[in-house]
Amino acid sequence: MSKEIKFSDETLEVVAKIILRYPEGRQKSALLPVLHIAQAEFDGWLSSEVMDYVASILNIKPIEVYEVASFYSMYNLKPVGKCLLEVCRTGPCMLNGAEDLVAHFENKLNIKDGETTADGMFTLKTVECLGSCGTAPMLQCGADYYENLDNQKADALLDKLRDENQRSRYC
Amino acid sequence: MARKILLEHLNVPGIETLEVFRKMGGYQAVEKVLKTMSPDDVTEEVKKSGLRGRGGAGFPAGMKWSFIDKKSEKPRYLVCNADESEPGTFKDRYLMEKIPHSLIEGMIVSSYALGAKTSYIYIRGEYFYVLRILEKAIAEAYEAGFLGKNILGTDYSLDLHVQIGAGAYICGEETALLESLEGKRGNPRMKPPFPAISGLYASPTVVNNVETIAAVPHIVNMTGDEYAKIGVGRSTGTKLISASGHINKPGVYEIEMGLPVEEFIYSDEYCGGIKNGKRLKALIAGGSSVPILPEHLITKTANGDARLMTYESLSDGGFVSGTMLGSGGFIVMDETTCIVRNTWTLARFYHHESCGQCSPCREGTGWMEKVLHRIENGHGKMSDVDLLVDIAKKIEGNTICPLGDAAAWPIASAIRHFREEFEYHVKYPEKVKDPKHFFYAPFVSEKMNASIA
Ligand SMILES: Cc1cc2nc3c(=O)[nH]c(=O)nc-3n(C[C@H](O)[C@H](O)[C@H](O)COP(=O)(O)O)c2cc1C
Ligand code: FES
């Protein structure tokens, strides 16, 4: 682990504010938002050390964090590439070319669904309906939706992300 | 042009800001209810409006509100369901993104009716950017005195928060949503007790869909009786439809209930017809969970009546020849579609999303996915088709929450209406090797050909 596992003071303040949204003694309600913050701050995934840290600041047992982190698909329990490309593959997107789009990324990046490029830049992941079926095919990278994609737009997106060289984050 | 209510001001520049939203009449309903109506008056108007839940089940909203336990000493909660994960559905996202204050105004008016002092909007994790839009709008509403202590100088106070999910379709089921909001896995609860008695933090709670809540201020402004005049019979008001698939103009449309399905598909005001001049083959009318309809049952019911966009007309014929309005996720498929492949992607979805509590759903969804995968890829047996029907039957009704039913219905209905296409995959494995097998040469029913000859 490169960084010490501790939120900055500003982040701790944000967490304290989130906890205030719930009645006293219900700070566990803050778990989902705080896990998102933790994932964004600690390299895009949740190691067991990070989850233990989240448990300690919410004053709950580590198992309560693990069972939640493993339930929801947006939490990564293994390291991912700098940019996580989440391509929707469900019915409506499939009807409009999602499978071709996935194949294009697989060829272009020389990885399979679920894998990360050797340079650690991209992870390709197929996901289920992202609520963007009218603008299919589409993908999500961090908080951004990229819609009505074709191979050309996909290539341009890869170039853009490579140039920006930023870790994708939801928050 | 048909009447627009929720999206009337969609194209007004700046409508996402409180200032412009107010100029267009926004937040008048807050003034009206706080200054001139009792909470029960508001519930009464919603009852009169006939408004039914827009999240999928179509339960009358006013009736649901009247079940809330008012004798309890615990705080009451209103929770907005913005989980929107039913494949084919993207209307809540559209509404929240374009006119965020319409939901916030609805939350204030509805919370007042229910006596809630704290309310939450639970939004699916993937909609992080929409969360930011809502948070900004909420901050504006606090600043303008529509949220917080003593709203508009009255003794009503309300705090409103947005809670982010983290990727789980099941959290759209209302009790799973409440578990998730408590910081747990999204495992649905046994009912009873219903949320109205014991919901969030074991307190009386109402869960309503985004679109349901956003309709409430309009009902308050125009009165429930006026709202009830829009639509047909027990399908009152307008409905947002998310249109996708093989159509010329995919997108979100607000329709008056009662619009003919044919007009919705072919009129330029809506879907604009089938893409590339192809033929219509099938329709999933209300999100991936509802039964699929074959061409001959889409624009007309089995009795030959025009099929309308209403709860009743879409379900005319029951599961034999009808479907459901559901969430309004309208997925149009043309003649190049392989029904088996489409059904397989949906089966994979339900398998992925089953929470795993109930064995029939946990095991059955995975089993159905596997069987469909082998049929689609030309490795199926003839008996697999009936095996699927059998598994679906054994899941249906045997689970804590309706995800099991939602997984079973699309498969059972696809086989009911397209059995020959499933059998074709078994009979001619070499013809389905290419994943795009019907793309170049659409499936043709041998039976139908024989009967014509
Ligand atoms: C598996 C499953 C997923 C659901 N997903 C959603 C959803 O994403 N949004 C929604 O509003 N309702 C969803 N529902 C319906 C909710 O349980 C609930 O009926 C609804 O939020 C009530 O609001 P309404 O009466 O305003 O429609 C889902 C139900 C099930 C069984
Ligand atoms: S199916 Fe891909 S966004 Fe809905």
CA triple B408-B414-B415, angle to 5 deg: 95
Residue among B248, B225, B256 nearest B8 (CA): B256
Q: Indicate if B223 and B115 belong to the same structural domain.
A: yes
Give the pLDDT confidence of B190-201 residue by residue, as tens digits: 999 999 999 999
Q: Is the CB of B291 under 6 A from ligand 1?
A: no
The model's pTM: 0.97
pLDDT > 90 fraction of chain B, expressed in percent and rounded: 97
Give the pLDDT confidence of B70-109 residue by residue, as tens digits: 999 999 999 999 999 999 999 999 999 999 999 999 999 9
Residue B2 lies in a domain: no
> Which are the contacts of B180, defined by CB distance < 8 A and separation ≥ 6?
A32, B122, B165, B168, B171, B186
Residue B64 lies in a domain: yes
pLDDT > 70 fraction of chain B, expressed in percent and rounded: 99
Domain that holds residue B293: 234-334
Strands B235-236 and B251-256: unpaired
Q: Is the pLDDT of residue A42 over 80?
A: yes
Q: Indicate if B120 and B225 belong to the same structural domain.
A: yes
Q: Do A71 and B329 touch (CB under 8 A)?
A: no
Q: Is the pLDDT of residue A1 over 60?
A: no
Which residues in chain A are closer than 8 Å to B184, comparing Cβ atoms? 28, 64, 67-68
Q: Indicate if B300 and B444 belong to the same structural domain.
A: no
Q: Is the pLDDT of residue B378 over 70?
A: yes
Q: Indicate if B359 and B446 belong to the same structural domain.
A: yes
CATH number for the domain spanning B401: value is 1.20.1440.230
Mean pLDDT of the B216-229 span: 98
Q: Is the pLDDT of residue A24 over 80?
A: yes
pLDDT of residue B453: 60
pLDDT of residue B2: 82
pLDDT of residue B265: 98
Q: Do B166 and A95 touch (CB under 8 A)?
A: no
Q: Is the CB of B173 under 6 A from ligand 1?
A: yes
Q: Indicate if B124 and B205 belong to the same structural domain.
A: yes
Q: Indicate if B100 and B164 belong to the same structural domain.
A: yes
Q: Cβ distance B227 to B218 under 8 Å? A: yes
Residue B3 lies in a domain: no
Mean pLDDT of the B250-258 span: 98
Q: Is the pLDDT of residue A105 over 70?
A: yes
Which residues in chain B are closer than 8 Å to A88, comparing Cβ atoms? none
Instruction: Quote the ligand 2 centre to A133 CA distance (angstroms).
Output: 4
Q: How many domains does chain B have?
A: 3
- Chain A: closest CA distance from residue B19 (Å): 26
Going by pLDDT thresholds of 50, 70 and 90, the confidence category of residue B231 is very high
Looking at the CA of residue B81, tell me the nearest atom of ligand 1: 11
Q: Tell which of B312, B334, B356 closes a domain.
A: B334
pLDDT of residue B110: 98
Best B76, B85, B98, B128 residue to mutate vs chain A (most A CBs within 10 Å): B128
Mean pLDDT of the B228-251 span: 98
Going by pLDDT thresholds of 50, 70 and 90, the confidence category of residue A3 is low
Q: Indicate if B204 and B94 belong to the same structural domain.
A: yes
Residue B96 lies in a domain: yes
Q: Indicate if B314 and B343 belong to the same structural domain.
A: no
Mean pLDDT of the B369-375 span: 98
Q: Indicate if B312 and B368 belong to the same structural domain.
A: no
Mean pLDDT of the A147-155 span: 98
- For residue B87, give the chain A residue with the closest CA: A129
> Which are the contacts of B432, defined by CB distance < 8 A and separation ≥ 6?
B338, B376, B377, B378, B424, B425
Residue B8 lies in a domain: no
CATH number for the domain spanning B315: value is 3.10.20.600
pLDDT of residue A2: 54
Give the pLDDT confidence of B440-451 residue by residue, as tens digits: 899 998 877 777
Q: Do B182 and A29 touch (CB under 8 A)?
A: yes
The structural domains of chain A, ordered by start, are 9-71 (1.10.10), 83-164 (3.40.30.10)
Residue among B414, B269, B248 nearest B332 (CA): B248
Q: Indicate if B31 and B101 belong to the same structural domain.
A: yes
CATH number for the domain spanning B208: value is 3.40.50.11540
Residues 27-86 of A with CB under 8 A from B: 28-33, 35-36, 58, 60, 64, 67-68, 71-75
Q: How far apart are CA B86 and CA A137, in angstroms?
A: 17
Identify which of A36, A128, A130 has the shortest CB distance to residue B166: A36
Residue among B257, B213, B182, B234 nearest B99 (CA): B213
pLDDT of residue B1: 62
Mean pLDDT of the B54-79 span: 97
